[in-house]
Amino acid sequence: MLRSHAFNSLYRSGINDLAREFYTPALRESVRYHRCSGYFSIDALLELSSGLVPFVRKGGRIKMVTSVELSETSCSVIQRGLELSREYVQADLERCIDACLDHEGSDYLDLIVNLIAAGRLEIRVAYAPTGLYHEKFGLFFDSNGGVVYFIGSVNETKSGLRANREAIMVSCSWEGDSRLFTEEEAYFSRIWNDEDDGLAVMEFPEACRRKLIEAYAVSPSVDEAVARIEGNLDAPRVKQLYPYQREAVEQFVANGYAHFFQMATGTGKTFTAIKAMERYLADCGNAIVIVIVPQTDLQAQWRVALEDEGLKCSLCGGDARSDAETTFDDALLDYYELDESPILVCVNMTYFGKLAGRVRQIANEANVCIVVDEAHTVTARQLDQLPFRTAARLGLSATPERFGAGEADRIVAYFTRSAIDPYGYGIDQAIEAGFLTPYRYHPVYLELGVNEYGAYGRLTRRLAVLCSQDMPDEDEIQRVRLERSRILKTSPEKIRELRSMVDSGAYDFVNSVVYCGAGKDRESDMPIIREVTALLNQAGLSAKSFFSGSDDRPGILREFEEGFFDTLVAIKCFDQGVDVKKLDKLYIMASDSSRRQTIQRRGRVLRTSRATKKESADIFDMVLIPPEGVDDPAAARSLISQEAARMAEYSSSAENKKDVLEEIDQIMETYGVEEARFDEDLV
């Protein structure tokens, strides 16, 4: 009975685990659950899974009224003072269902969709024709007349239950005024039956219902779905290592828990690293585990990946809510006093700015496991700050190259203790095995403007003079290189070419990222990222800027995955560590002369996706060539050498590799270029 559980009157995320402390025990003791929620996702019911089987065994039934995240089209209808139709709402719901279909299957998901198929989980969709339906309340009913009512800010979504800062107020029928429970049950019934003025309620579309059942149902009935779970309670299904991942972990163990995983983007570096970390803890006892990442986007992805494997972690820097030193002190207490293995996920700047010295000190006496993701971003000075004595260390990267072979070798040597070669699993292997998507590479040729080409030539000659001096001024060389690179990245020809591509209708910008240069367009004096975003929006697309200063970058990525935006317009912050599976096209307007950046960007578009049933990907790359009729051989050779190097790397694993390589050979021959070369110093 519900009365058997002592419910709090208030639950607040960050202080309480809403799913474990409130929703699960309430569901376990109930036979009916009525819920009105602003937004709904399948993930939320999975969060309640430990209470779901007892609920189902009692014959439990769920009625859920939910809203749907409106598309840009629906929002524009409301803004124009028009009323939404059911067709708009159904289209938005189908889009949200499509977005959730990339979910990993589970026995509990099998049970949930069987409840939908059996009519024991009924969903209806509410919308205000001139706005949003955003109420959030619910009632749990047991078989003895007990009722628990709650109201608050929590949506029936995974992020609402776990990630957001939310709060709910709770009232129990055996403690409060009975009128509240009678009135709220009657109010729910009015909404459910579409009897509330100003609100429209529709049944869950049959097409969406069928799509969920076909995608996730494994068992033929609710009873068999329950039996499937109960037969696996002592041995739950877990995500398993693929053979190549298992080989990497075994090499890590054999080398004294030290290694460097050089694995193509999309082949599961993070999951493999977590399994290596778990193996170390199983073999060697508790440790302080520190994961270092270059940016907050990766920090958030690591937190989710760890939680998916049942591991709790604390954040330092980035999205952390507590001061890094305080979090580290708490981790030390957990390690020394509770014999636990705390896991800290630290943003690079915070770790090296606040914690590196303390970690070096404790590494002499405590078991410390260091994991550095995107390890190629570690500078020489930061490498010296990593603890020399660690029980375990692991570096991860798809591209260990940085400024040169010597520095890359030094980074790898730290993690491998100079005793073993990095473990490699390349892009060609991953595509062939089906872990990455095949792709095609499309160079889009355009002439550099005459004035820009003249400036590029002058800087090229200046660079040649500087590099030929007995004691080269490295700072001045770097300044000239960056100025020359900026000419290429901000060429007005690229804006004109993008406009032509959009206007032609021959290019699909849905599920795509457009990489543009930083700075302003020299013709319009508008920031290039803003101009490109406006250009796409004016063409009827839904585009969103994505850069280091963007508010809530994880939220933007989530909305992109869910179909709120067709296109993201990015500068550099989308280069590494960002996981957007539905992305299937890149449009490249600006690039560094860097092999590493080229590899990282290609990796963004090659992840497989069940949501979009992605079968292939495309990369469109604006390649600059000298303007016709302008004779400057030195400038031409320099320009073509850099552009050809990028083309060669992008096409190296492409399905149309042969055709592109023939084009590269022809261009290099035309301009007398003997070697296509990246200028890694621009990294």
627-663 b/e (C-beta count within 10 Å ≥ 16 → b): beeeebeebbbbbbbbbbbbbbbbbbbbeeeeebeeb
Q: In degrees rounded to 5, what are phi and psi of residue 404? A: -175, 170
- The pLDDT tens digits of the residues spanning 234-285 come to 444 456 788 899 999 999 999 999 999 999 877 889 999 999 999 999 999 8
Query: Sign of torsion, CA 48 579 352 278?
Result: positive
Let me know the angle formed at the C-alpha of 617 by 616 and 623, rounded to the nearest 5 degrees.
Answer: 145
579 touches 302 (CB < 8 A): no
3-class DSSP string for 528-582: HHHHHHHHHHHCCCCEEEECCCCCCHHHHHHHHHCCCCCEEEECCCCCCCCCCCC
617 touches 392 (CB < 8 A): no
- The pLDDT tens digits of the residues spanning 14-66 come to 677 777 788 888 988 899 999 887 665 665 566 566 678 888 888 899 998 88
Cβ partners under 8 Å of residue 21, min gap 6: 8, 11
Q: How far is CA 190 from CA 86, 126, 214, in A?
A: 19, 12, 32
462 touches 640 (CB < 8 A): no
Conformation bin of residue 268: beta by default, left when phi > 0, alpha when psi is -120 to 50: left
Residue 200 token pair: 């429209």
Mean per-residue pLDDT, 119-143: 83
- The pLDDT tens digits of the residues spanning 137-148 come to 999 999 889 999
Tell me how far apart the alpha carbons of residues 506 and 516 are, in angstroms, rounded to a whole number. 20
Cβ partners under 8 Å of residue 576, min gap 6: 294, 295, 298, 374, 377, 600
Cβ partners under 8 Å of residue 40, min gap 6: 64, 66, 67, 123, 155, 156, 157
CB atoms within 10 A of CB 302: 24
pLDDT-derived band at 405 (thresholds 50, 70, 90) equals low
Note the Cα 449 to chain centre separation in Å.
37
> What pLDDT was estimated at residue 330?
92
Residue 631 token pair: 């004779």
Q: Widest CA span of the chain, in angstroms?
A: 91
Nearest to 391 by CA among 409, 417, 421, 411: 417
Tell me how far apart the alpha carbons of residues 530 and 569 are, in angstroms, rounded to a whole number. 9
450 touches 630 (CB < 8 A): yes
Mean per-residue pLDDT, 201-218: 78
Whether residue 662 has pLDDT greater than 90:
yes
Q: How far is CA 191 from CA 128, 132, 185, 609, 631, in A?
A: 12, 14, 10, 37, 75
Residues of the chain with pLDDT > 70: what percent? 84
93 touches 69 (CB < 8 A): no
> What pLDDT was estimated at residue 393?
96
Whether residue 676 has pLDDT greater than 90:
no
Domains, the chain: 2-230 (3.30.870.10), 243-431 (3.40.50.300), 437-682 (3.40.50.300)
